[in-house]
Amino acid sequence: MEYMLTKCENEIANEWQKYQGYTIRPVASTINYYSELISKINDNAKSLIFGSTPEIRSIYQQLNKPLVIVDRCIKMVKAMGLLTHSRNPISVNESVIENDWLMPLQESQQFDVLIGDDSINMVSLNQFPEFLENAYQLLKQDGIFICHLLIKPDENFIKQPFFELVNDYRNGKIKSHFDLASRLNFICYDETNCQMGWQKTIRKLGIDKLSQFYPDFNFIEKFNFCNSHFTCPPQREFEQLVTNYFTIQEIFYPHEHDYCLFEPVYILKKGGEYNE
């Protein structure tokens, strides 16, 4: 599946810029948390990022630390590079490997640090073990995996009737467009495959329902080109699975918006019940 419903790198970058503050991009507290972690990494350490998150790439650029970017879509990597500190498709400190996140790298490389900002959410639920096993194999023995992901929202958000959600927004219970966008995704969450996403929400609710928020907020105009979808497992199930491969050292929750409750960042250290 493509990340964006457009092929032009500049247009991808322009669209992605519109998503600042929304669940698809790390918020300021998450960026600060990443910055603190990355600044402590030894300059000679080997770091790999799944995907091309511009905020993370900018931190590495500003610290002049080397970074390996792994993604199956080089066009997306170059488009996101236009939003980084260097404003270059690929910066001098970066090297890019075109590869699926579920596949081992052709060269037997191992890294001190892996970072995935919502990357695990881009695979299906039955592929989570494969993703985590590949991450495990990519890490050196004392390596860490900084894993930011979306988890399943509370059941009452998923089951909330649409027009009750409309009233909550109009009455100020939903405080921002950022939370509104997430809450609209939540009521379209598919409990069968644990997935939600912008295009799924547009298809399920349609223009008649989404126009309830015009002109204050145009969900379709905002996300019309974004095809990112998210597999969001229940948190307990994710933690049970992840401890087969890693030890959970820390969990950080961003705090700008209500939806942040469902976007933890895990610091995972290599080592668990997994036997090679």
With residue 202 as reference, give the H or E element that holds it.
Answer: helix 198-210
Say what the pLDDT of residue 274 is: 41
pLDDT in tens, 148-196: 999 999 999 999 999 999 999 999 999 999 999 999 999 999 999 999 9
Say what the pLDDT of residue 219 is: 97
Task: Give the mean model confidence (pLDDT) for residues 107-126.
Answer: 93
Phi, psi dihedral angles at 233 (to 5 degrees): -75, 160
Q: Confidence band (pLDDT; 50, 70, 90) for 2?
A: low
Q: Does domain 9-151+233-270 have CATH number 3.40.50.150?
A: yes
Tokens of 95: 């090297």
Contact 111, 44 (CB under 8 A): no
Task: Give the mean model confidence (pLDDT) for residues 198-215.
Answer: 96
Query: Which of 253, 250, 274 is CA-nearest to residue 263?
Result: 253
Entry pTM: 0.94
Instruction: Please list, in sequence order, all residues whose beta carbon lies within 8 angstroms of the beta carbon of residue 223, skipping any fewer than 6 positions away.
Output: 19, 181, 198, 199, 201, 202
Contact 117, 31 (CB under 8 A): no
HSE at residue 197, side-chain half, CA atoms within 13 A, is 22
Give the C-alpha separation, 17 to 84, whole Å: 11
Say what the pLDDT of residue 264 is: 98
Query: Which of 148, 221, 160, 223 is CA-nearest to residue 188?
Result: 160
Above 80 in pLDDT, residue 108? no
Calculate the alpha carbon distances from 4 to 14, 141, 194, 198, 247 in Å. 11, 36, 21, 11, 34
Q: Confidence band (pLDDT; 50, 70, 90) for 276?
A: very low
Above 50 in pLDDT, residue 137? yes
pLDDT in tens, 30-84: 999 999 999 999 988 999 999 999 999 999 999 999 999 999 899 999 999 999 9
Domain boundaries, the chain: 9-151+233-270, 155-231
Query: Which of 58, 76, 75 is CA-nearest to residue 115?
Result: 58
Q: In one letter, which amino acid is 77?
A: V
